[in-house]
Amino acid sequence: MSDQALSPAPRSAETSHPPLPETHFIRPPKKRGRRLFNSLQPWLFISPFIIIFCLFTLFPLTFSVYLSFQEWNPVTGLSGMNYVGVQNYVEAYDDPWLWKSLYNTFWLAIVSGVPQHLIAVPVAYLLVYAVRSSLRHVLTATMFIPFITSTVAVALIFYSIYSANTGILNQMLLGASKLPLIGALFAWVPDVMPIKWLTKSDLIKPAIAAVVIWKYTGFNIVIYSAGFVTVPQDVYDAAKVDGCNRLQQFWHVALPMIRPFIFFAMTLTIIGNLQLFEEPFILTSGDTGGVGQAGLTTSYYLYLVGWEWLEMGAAAAISWILFLIIAIATSIHFYFNGRKGMEGNR
């Protein structure tokens, strides 16, 4: 040791100590079998998922592609399948009901989607900044309840609320028209009674939209509350010192900072609203989309074609068309908002 220290050998960083002889290291013997097991182990762990995924997702997915080029009534069994080429797609293109359902779907997606966010963002902001946190949790939980309530139950309750002769909505409107001061605003009500919310073609879509808004706004409020909570207090303080009033703090600071949350919530709304089914289905009594097909969404139409008219091939084609449309709508959303939305503040 001391000999080495005294020797005049050059002492660069690499040679600062001589390497130990190779024999110094102890290598455990290699175990071949163990290595195979090690490389298989992760696959074994995820195999339950893979099996279930292949069985219930991958197979139906590919099968529906195949199916969309067949003519098939499921009652006739698998042998009743006929290859028809792209005929299902051509027929879908010429199908006025499909176009109508697409129009309805987009109408509902916009009219029931936009207000959800226009309401949820300011409500979440107020909840986070004007309400103390214990009360805020109670309120958010309450507003979340519509989202976790079964859509069928929700739709059935609204079905009775909208009922023309006995529904509480019409009763309330009538009552309002008899009130002393605001009655004047509702003077038109008795003349148009009973209002047939669910059986007049131009009222069906707004009625459905109202249910969707009611059901999903609370969900968005929860997302946006989580977003506003992430904005640190000192940034608001800086904004106050920079001369912002409450509204400017919201507009210039809070809103841009929750952009990733807005992006996420909007993505969910776009995908969800383009698949709207239960609400219109129940509110129109599962009929052919209500009077004049005013409540017929594409998912709803898909259900009619497949399960009412038993044309599985046509239904598969329509479902792929719907998928394509959702994919395009989402891509457009990603293209315009994705970069800013997903990069966040990084």
Chain residues binding another protein by CB under 8 A are: 232, 234-235, 237-245, 248, 252-253, 256-257, 259, 345-346
Q: Nearest distance from residue 86's CB to another protein, in Å?
A: 48
Q: For the CA atoms of the chain, what is the radius of gyration?
A: 31
Which residue(s) pair with 82 in the sheet?
71
Q: Nearest distance from residue 337's CB to another protein, in Å?
A: 14
Euclidean distance between CA atoms 258 and 49, whole angstroms: 34
Are the CB atoms for 282 and 156 separated by under 8 Å? yes
CA quadruple 161, 162, 168, 173: dihedral, nearest 10 = 150
Q: Nearest distance from residue 229's CB to another protein, in Å?
A: 15
Q: Nearest distance from residue 257's CB to another protein, in Å?
A: 6
Output the CA–CA distances (angstroms, integers) from residue 46 to 42, 53, 294, in the order listed: 6, 11, 46
Q: Please, which residue, 256 or 292, has the CB nearer to another protein?
A: 256
Q: Please, which residue, 245 or 285, has the CB nearer to another protein?
A: 245
Q: Please, which residue, 252 or 339, has the CB nearer to another protein?
A: 252
Q: Nearest distance from residue 121's CB to another protein, in Å?
A: 16
Question: Phi/psi at 324 (nearest 5 deg)?
Answer: -60, -40
Output the CA–CA distances (angstroms, integers) from residue 150 to 154, 155, 269, 299, 337, in the order listed: 6, 9, 18, 18, 32
Which residue(s) pair with 70 in the sheet?
83
Q: Please, which residue, 74 or 338, has the CB nearer to another protein?
A: 338
Q: Please, which residue, 93 or 251, has the CB nearer to another protein?
A: 251
